[in-house]
Amino acid sequence: MVKKHSFSDISFDIVNRLFMIFCTLVVVYPIIYIVSSSFSSANAIIAGKVWLLPVEPSIKAYQAVFRNKQVVTGYTNSIIYTAGGTLISVFLTIAAAYPLSRKFLPGRKFFTAMFVFTMLFSGGLIPTYFVVRNVGLIDTRWAIILPNALSVWNLMVTLTYFKTSISEEMFEAAIIEGASDFRILQAIVLPLSQAIIAVIALYYAIGIWNSYFDALIYLKSSSKFPLQIILRNILIINQSDLSMGADMVAMARRQGMADVMKYALIVISSAPLLMIYPFVQKHFVKGVMLGSIKG
């Protein structure tokens, strides 16, 4: 049965594999470089000696970063915002997507159009600020979570998924059995939509984790700032104008440390999402296999 591989087959395989190895390297190398740099000494980075493995390994950068209490506060805040925000966002998305996916909802087209309208037009910065201020959210943690809790884009993705991958027969069967809409949502739609829920949860989580501008505008107390703002502050202060400097000796000591800290900060801030990803990815794969009607 084994067919003899022709020359072109073999060469295709080889080229293909080489190409894949190349692609992998392109993706993996920057990550390795950043991690290695974050564990290297400042002098090695200044002199450009780091290219693959850490040179003169040290954890000074991480010590410097974590000695800063604001980083720890920021980390805690970011976790609160991401966990809480993702829950609320996913809840709202499903709560909006399910009714809009049912054909007999009165005014379905109107509501959908209203949602889509906000994708194209918004009130702008100052009016939005006024709304947030007048409902009393300024300088509260809610200001980070609520104003952008629902992403219409994610809503559309979910809505489409509900409409296309859950067959109408399932709903009819459930209705004949006497199930209410809540029952249908719980018992049929949610279990069948685990894959899409995992995906939008990841979208939301990444969005909130990386978000920055809302905190910049709405928060006043540094105890509520998320990690991204703290990181930016640290990076900016380390690049501050030298001619303003108060003391050259300190400047000299700081030189280089800024570079190492930059890498350590990148590692620290992306670590949580990198760690979450493998668990969510399982759902990505599984989700494709799931289906309600067999055969």
Partner 1 sequence: MKKGKKHVVLIVLLLLLVIVNLGAQAKSETTKKGTTVTVTPVGTYPVVTEPVSLTFLTLQPVFIEDLNTNRFAKYWNEKTGVNIKWETIPRDAVKEKLNIILASGDYPDVFFGLGSQEQGIGVSQEMTYGVQEHMFMPLNNLIDQYMPNLSKLLEERPGSRQFLTAPDGNIYGLPDFNECYHCSMSQKMWIYEPWLDALGLKMPTTTEEFHHVLTAFKTMDPNGNGKADEIPLAGAISGWNNNLETFLLNSFTYTNLVASLDANVNTAIGFYRDGNTIKTMVNTSEYQDALRYLAKLYHEGLVYPASFSQDSDQLTQLVEGPEQPIVGVVAGGYGGMFSIVGGERYRNYKPMAPLKGPKGAQFSRFFLQAPVIGNVAISKDCKNPAVVARMIDFLYTDEGTLMSNYGFEGEGWKWADTNDFGLDGEKAIYRLLKPWNDMDPQNDCFVMLGVRANTSRIRNGEAVDPNVDIFSAEGLEALLYQKTQELYAPYGYPELEIPTLRFLEEEDQAFASKRLAFANYARQSLVKFVTGVWDVDGNWNEYIKGLEKLDLQGILALNQKAFDRQNSAN
- With CA atoms as reference, report the closest residue to 78 among 219, 243, 191, 247: 219
CB-based contact 218:201 (threshold 8 Å)? no
**Buried (b) or exposed (e) across 39-48, using 16+ Cβ within 10 A?**
bbbbebbeee
If binding is defined by CB under 8 A, does position 167 make contact with partner 1?
no
From the CB of 81, what's the least distance to partner 1, in Å?
Answer: 9
Whole-angstrom distance, CA of residue 142 vs CA of residue 124 = 19
What x/- string results for residues 96 through 125 when contact with partner 1 is judged by CB under 8 A? -----------------------------x
Number of residues near partner 1 (by CB under 8 A): 71
Distances (CA, A) of 228 to 70, 99, 209: 11, 36, 8
Are 77 and 225 spatial neighbours (Cβ–Cβ below 8 Å)? yes
Q: Which is nearer to partner 1, 4 or 67 (CB)?
A: 67
Q: Dihedral angle at the C-alpha atoms of 29, 30, 35, 41, nearest 10 degrees?
A: 100
Q: How far is the CB of 217 from partner 1 (least distance, A)?
A: 6
Q: Does 250 bind partner 1 (CB under 8 A)?
A: yes
Is 87 a binder of partner 1 (CB under 8 A)? yes
Q: Quick one: residue 247, left, alpha or beta (phi over 0 = left, psi -120 to 50 = alpha)?
A: beta
Within positions 210 to 239, which residues make up the interface with partner 1, using CB under 8 A?
A: 215-217, 220-225, 229-230, 232-234, 236-238
| Contact map string, positions 33 to 72, toward partner 1, x by CB under 8 A | ----------x--xxxx--------------x--xxxx--
* Binding flag, residue 83, partner 1 (CB under 8 A): yes
The C-alpha angle 101, 104, 107, rounded to 5 degrees, equals: 85
Interface with partner 1 (CB under 8 A), residue from 5, 102, 133, 282: 133
Based on CB atoms, which residue is closest to partner 1, 112 or 141?
Answer: 141
Shortest reach from residue 13's CB to partner 1, in Å: 40
Helix axis angle for 108-120 and 69-101, nearest 10°, is 150
One of 131, 175, 242, 290 touching partner 1 (CB under 8 A): 242
Using the rule CB under 8 A, is 168 a contact of partner 1? no
Q: How far is the CB of 186 from partner 1 (least distance, A)?
A: 4
Residue 219: what are its φ and ψ, rounded to 5°?
Answer: -100, 145
Q: Which of 129, 147, 156, 165 binds partner 1 (CB under 8 A)?
A: 129
Report d(CA 38, CA 133) in Å as an integer: 40
Determine which helix (DSSP H) or strand (DSSP E) holds 129, and give its type and residue range.
Answer: helix 125-134
Nearer to partner 1, 20 or 59 (CB): 59
We find the least distance from the C-beta atom of residue 219 to partner 1, in angstroms, to be: 8
